Structure 1
Amino acid sequence: MLAAFAAAALPLTATAHPAQAADPAQPADSAQASVPTRATAPATDAPPVIDAPPVFGSDWHDPLTAAPPVPKPGTKSCEVTVAQAQFRDFTPYRGTYTPPAACGTDWSKVVLRLDGKVKGRQYDRLGSLHVGGVEIYRTSTPQPSPDGIEWSVEKDVTRYTDTLRRAQDVEMLIGNVVDETYTGVLDVKVTLTFHKAPASHKSPETQGTSRTSVPDKVLTLTPDHTLTTPRNSERILAEVYATGSGGGCEEYWYLSVPAPAPYSCQTPDGPYREVRITVDGRLAGIATPFPTVWTGGWSNPFLWYVVPGPRAFDIKPIEYDLTPFAGLLNDGRPHRVEVSVVGVPEGQTGWSAPVNVLVWQDAGKQRVGGKLTVHKEGAPTGSSTYTPGTEHRVDTRAGHSLTVAGYLDTSHGRVTTTVARTLAHTSAHRWTDGESTDALDGVWRDDETVVVNGHATRAHRTYTMDGETTIGADARLRTVMTLADRAAVSDSRGRWSRLDDTYTGDAAYTTGVPRDQRQGVATTTERYRLTGSGGCYDRTVTAVQGVLTGDSSAC
């Protein structure tokens, strides 16, 4: 394979038309799905000048992204192998995990690393890793070259310290199909590296009053979706690994249209999706899912072979601050907690939404009482308007808002928490008969403000997608795409950060011919910028016809 480049982070599944992934073995007009990766190697200040080939060959650069590696402390570390398997079917790997005796149970950082390799033909495949029933990692795989690729992913999993302090059962699955056509066996190893806390480090066990420290408990829901929290909980955070995947329209939900629009994917309410969480049937949180594109997405795997779209290899959970409901949840009884996705037709599958619940406890009190004082839901708005013509068009506008507040009487006084979240979505989807042209320009906003005893933290998240796929008279399929993951976070103490992770790509190939005759070309670039009161990171990577032609840092 081409010179390996450490990749860090990986995503998920299979798809159809523009958002769907192209079949790695068949012509692109019989499309299906795939996914991305994220890089851990540092940028080089002066990369060598490389002449890209005229078209893709049978080998290309290992997948990478411009995202930063996980920062690691310089303390003693211990490594434990959590899972090692070759995934050929849908049989999960099962094993056991034991914490490393040489590094104790007080860690300043725990880093998960996945190393994988695959060659031949294969779709992207969805994967997840559970330790003690807690999902600590969700991912997918890149599409391989005929000669083979390797990739690596890193994730900070320190927040799962409570789970990792004890011996646990392990289950990992990357569902795969291997036969005479799809030959790629996914060879994967996952390790955890534990970095010991310095002697002056404050143990996470005594950090329960901090909103930024490691949680004291990591809980999962029972099979009947109930949760029982400790009676002295003073902060409760739910995380949901919500992904639209598994085939069908929900893999590319952002392109769905309402009837009677003549498009290959119809859903009654069009493309608006909203992930909701309820407590005992009452709405407790709302969120916008990220419009992830897997590595075979938009019928054009050449776009994603080397540089994937944002989040493709590191599927981030949606977070909901449930602290206003802690007064209710702290009564020692089980409460029903459920997640649903608005916009999915009733009875249709395609979304997975496992839930972890992170709990911070009051070390100075056995029981923490409180009350939910505000529950204000704005009326959901939304419309998808179909305009027929030579170029069909669906315009969508939708949104929702929710504000909840509550107080807790803790050992350090009354603490009032208010969570306000506002969602907004606009998109224009246009296509021609036969979908030989298919384009989307969409913007998703998710704004959240959390105020704790007068101290506010504000997060403004914006996701954008501007893409078009065309198939010309010469059977050349071309996709031009821009994807962006942006977030601005600030608090009343003067801390702030700003993320701009933007991918751009232009790729084409000939449809209806064997793989080795597709004459694929692609120029793909990712710029990952993270600035703020904590410093600056700015890296750009570019690949042309599978060759890494640029890797630079601006900070």
Structure 2
Amino acid sequence: MPTASSAHRSLLLCLCLCLCIALLSNSAAALPSPRDLRFSVEDIAAVEAALPRRSRASSSKTTFFEVDRPLRPPRGSSGPCSTLLLSHSFAFTLTKPPVTAAYSPPPCLVSGASSVSLAVLEWRAECRGAQYDRTFGVWLGGAEILRGSTAEPRPGGVAWSVSKDVTRYAALLAAGNATLAVYLGNLIDDTYNGVYHANLTLHLYFRPRGGAGARSSPPSAAADAVVPVSRSLPLNDGLWFVVQNATDVQSARVAVPPNAYRAVLEVYVSSHDADEFWYMNTPDQNGPFREVTVLLDGDVVGAVWPFPVIYTGGINPLIWRPITSIGSFNMPTYDIELTPFLGKLLDGEDHELGFAVTNAQRSWYVDANLHLWLDPKSSKTTGGLVAYDAPKLAGSIVSHSADGIDGEYEATASRNITATGWLSSSCGNVTTTFAQRLGFSNTNVVSGHGTAQAINQTTDALTTVTAGAASAQQQVHQSFPLYIFLGGDGSGTSSQRLMRRVEIGFDETRSRGGGAATSTLRNSQAAAAEVTLRDDAVVSASWRMHQTYAFGASDGGCYLRNVSSVGYDVLFDHHDASCAGTTSGR
């Protein structure tokens, strides 16, 4: 992202040679073959021109949106107290420093971090003209608090917004003076003239006075300190580390306050360039499996098996208009419990936290935030590692191909990581166990001498944290199903169709206290697009999207949304926050 590298395109060429010749021999501006995964500005302009008159771009902006549940403060909260943090137009910003602004806690934040019941970071942006999607990141005091991709604009303009719950960064928001940094690597030239105009606003809600009571530290409570694990300003790029290949390890040294009693590493990750579509890679592209390993002084202490975020220009940009892909505007983060290793981190020395990406090609953006809980009644805590087991990654890739092009490629992987450590604080001696069980499977079928490809992939991740008694257990189970089909018909004739299908899901169950369910999310999309060419000219285009989002929690909170679009038109958009008659969030 934003475009495939020349090296990536050369690797793709062998898989789409036949159709490429058919489409490109007579027209330099012909649409991509089934195996190409991005459309150019000329491609999109040709599609727009072929749409029915009522669907063509007008002078009014089109609003794109990512489906998510609305953020509401707890009952009885006051606010919002809203502060504009930054307003900026991102023109030619590629390879230039991030935009920065001085940050001080808003005057309404007089009672400190513990008074915040909900903090929402809102990004609103618009763009007119021609432009690719671009990655952007927001950092406060060096800690990343939002990462997303932009919408690809229409000639008449596009607008979108992101609202992210940033309550877990309350300690950062309430701290002293800091630098806010925003990086959006945009390119302006004779073809790409779209400028992204963005506003960044912080909305704060507060607990009722006298209702907070004594400070407790349940798993949902915000940390007392957030330590960035990222690159430092000044930079001509984002503050993320850039992992270039499978042997590249990026790291930073961190120090932990001597009275810390819990540590959680929050990891941000996104894939770009030759690895943007890593899940579609064949063996000559290092296969389709990727993991981000977290290293503490060189030892693997956790792993992230990422959700396959598809940016708004990926696979076929029409599919993501106006409903964008899951996680595209607000990319997910991943938590690694480091509490079992606190005994090592509390020795008063700096320690190295590093990141590597298994099988990586250029490039991956990775950084993290170390969330720390501090003992208010003690100046020093102590701890030690009781047990640690991180066997090597198990996996394989098997090719069934007679000609090196068509065939079936099967990849599997599994990993288990377990660590147990004790920590002594003013609350006593607590033993914490962190365990990960990860599984991955991918089947890639290439046919028609490289003119069609079908991907079936599933990622399954189970993370368990037990602190003290079993009743204190936390468990997160995530599953990421993915199906992609790229194909076409009519190769060698005057009329041809290019087809795309995508089915993707983000399923998550969070439980606490010996298995009592606390929340369940089922978020799935099914989309398809077809472009018809006659004599190498676009004559028609159609696309559709259907998404269901179902969230339910044992505390009674829920949100259901069922939305469908055809072309740029939203056919229906049903949502319900009462969820009458539902018990599981489905």
Same fold (TM over 0.5): yes
Aligned equivalents of 2:262, 2:202: Cα separation in 1: 27
The SS at the match of 2:318 is helix
Shift of 1:490: 1.4
Query: Would you say the 8 A contact 2:129–2:194 is kept in 1?
Result: yes
2:485 corresponds, among 468, 471, 476, to: 468
Aligned equivalents of 1:67, 1:553: Cα separation in 2: 11
Aligned equivalents of 2:70, 2:408: Cα separation in 1: 41
1:95 paired residue number: 101
Matches within 5 A, 1:297-312: 297-298=314-315, 300-312=316-328
Letter in 1 for 2:344: L
Query: Would you say the 8 A contact 2:67–2:326 is kept in 1?
Result: no
Is 1:78–2:68 an aligned residue pair? no
Is 1:540–2:559 an aligned residue pair? no
Shift of 1:103: 3.8
2:292 paired residue number: 275
Letter in 1 for 2:325: G
The SS at the match of 1:146 is coil
Aligned equivalents of 2:85, 2:534: Cα separation in 1: 43
The SS at the match of 1:328 is helix
Shift of 1:495: 3.9
2:264 paired residue number: 237
1:287 corresponds, among 280, 285, 304, to: 304
Aligned equivalents of 1:222, 1:115: Cα separation in 2: 25
**Structure 2 gaps, min length 5:** 14-27, 40-50, 232-250, 580-586
Aligned equivalents of 2:185, 2:441: Cα separation in 1: 34
Letter in 2 for 1:538: L
Shift of 1:179: 2.0
Letter in 2 for 1:292: V
Is 1:217–2:234 an aligned residue pair? no
Shift of 1:211: 2.4
Distance 1:118 1:26, change over 3 A: farther
Is 1:399–2:399 an aligned residue pair? no
The SS at the match of 1:306 is coil
2:32 paired residue number: 29
Distance 1:222 1:113, change over 3 A: closer
Shift of 1:549: 0.8
Matches within 5 A, 1:340-359: 340-344=356-360, 348-359=361-372
The structure in which a higher percent of residues are helix is 2
2:56 paired residue number: 57
Aligned equivalents of 1:513, 1:134: Cα separation in 2: 53
Distance 1:529 1:14, change over 3 A: farther
Distance 1:306 1:26, change over 3 A: farther
Shift of 1:308: 1.6
Percent of pairs with identical residues: 26
Aligned equivalents of 1:27, 1:147: Cα separation in 2: 23
Aligned equivalents of 2:535, 2:309: Cα separation in 1: 28
Letter in 2 for 1:351: W
1:157 corresponds, among 149, 166, 181, to: 166
The SS at the match of 2:130 is coil
Query: Would you say the 8 A contact 1:77–1:103 is kept in 2?
Result: no
Shift of 1:513: 8.9
- Once the two structures are superposed, what CA deviation does each residue of 1:330-376 show, in whole Å capped at 9, x if it has no partner? 122101111111122xxx43111111110001112111111011111
- Once the two structures are superposed, what CA deviation does each residue of 1:296-343 show, in whole Å capped at 9, x if it has no partner? 212x11111211221111111111000000111112210111111112
Letter in 1 for 2:102: T
Aligned equivalents of 2:363, 2:102: Cα separation in 1: 30
Aligned equivalents of 2:159, 2:228: Cα separation in 1: 33
Is 1:430–2:445 an aligned residue pair? yes
Letter in 2 for 1:340: A
Shift of 1:64: 1.7
Query: Would you say the 8 A contact 1:208–1:361 is kept in 2?
Result: no
Aligned equivalents of 1:443, 1:518: Cα separation in 2: 36
1:329 paired residue number: 345
**Structure 1 gaps, min length 5:** 1-11, 35-51, 260-265
Shift of 1:460: 1.3
Is 1:385–2:395 an aligned residue pair? no
Shift of 1:180: 2.3
1:42 paired residue number: none
Q: Work out the number of aligned pairs and report it.
A: 506
2:187 paired residue number: 177
Aligned equivalents of 1:518, 1:281: Cα separation in 2: 56
Query: Would you say the 8 A contact 2:522–2:549 is kept in 1?
Result: yes
1:492 paired residue number: 513
2:67 paired residue number: 66
Query: Would you say the 8 A contact 1:279–1:336 is kept in 2?
Result: yes
Query: Would you say the 8 A contact 1:207–1:213 is kept in 2?
Result: no
2:202 paired residue number: 192
Shift of 1:196: 2.7
2:429 corresponds, among 399, 406, 414, to: 414
Shift of 1:93: 1.5
The SS at the match of 1:520 is strand
Which stretch has the larger CA shift, 405-414 or 431-440? 431-440
Query: Would you say the 8 A contact 1:254–1:272 is kept in 2?
Result: yes
Query: Would you say the 8 A contact 1:94–1:169 is kept in 2?
Result: yes
Distance 1:86 1:412, change over 3 A: same
1:133 paired residue number: 142
Shift of 1:54: 8.8
Query: Would you say the 8 A contact 2:460–2:477 is kept in 1?
Result: yes
Distance 1:278 1:511, change over 3 A: farther
Distance 1:179 1:513, change over 3 A: farther
- Once the two structures are superposed, what CA deviation does each residue of 1:197-239 show, in whole Å capped at 9, x if it has no partner? 3212438xx6464322110001023756111011111110111
1:47 paired residue number: none
Aligned equivalents of 1:112, 1:513: Cα separation in 2: 49
Letter in 2 for 1:489: R
* TM-score, structure 2 normalization: 0.81
Is 1:256–2:264 an aligned residue pair? no
Shift of 1:406: 0.3
Is 1:339–2:355 an aligned residue pair? yes
2:235 paired residue number: none
2:458 paired residue number: 443
The SS at the match of 2:396 is strand
Letter in 2 for 1:353: V
Distance 1:285 1:55, change over 3 A: farther
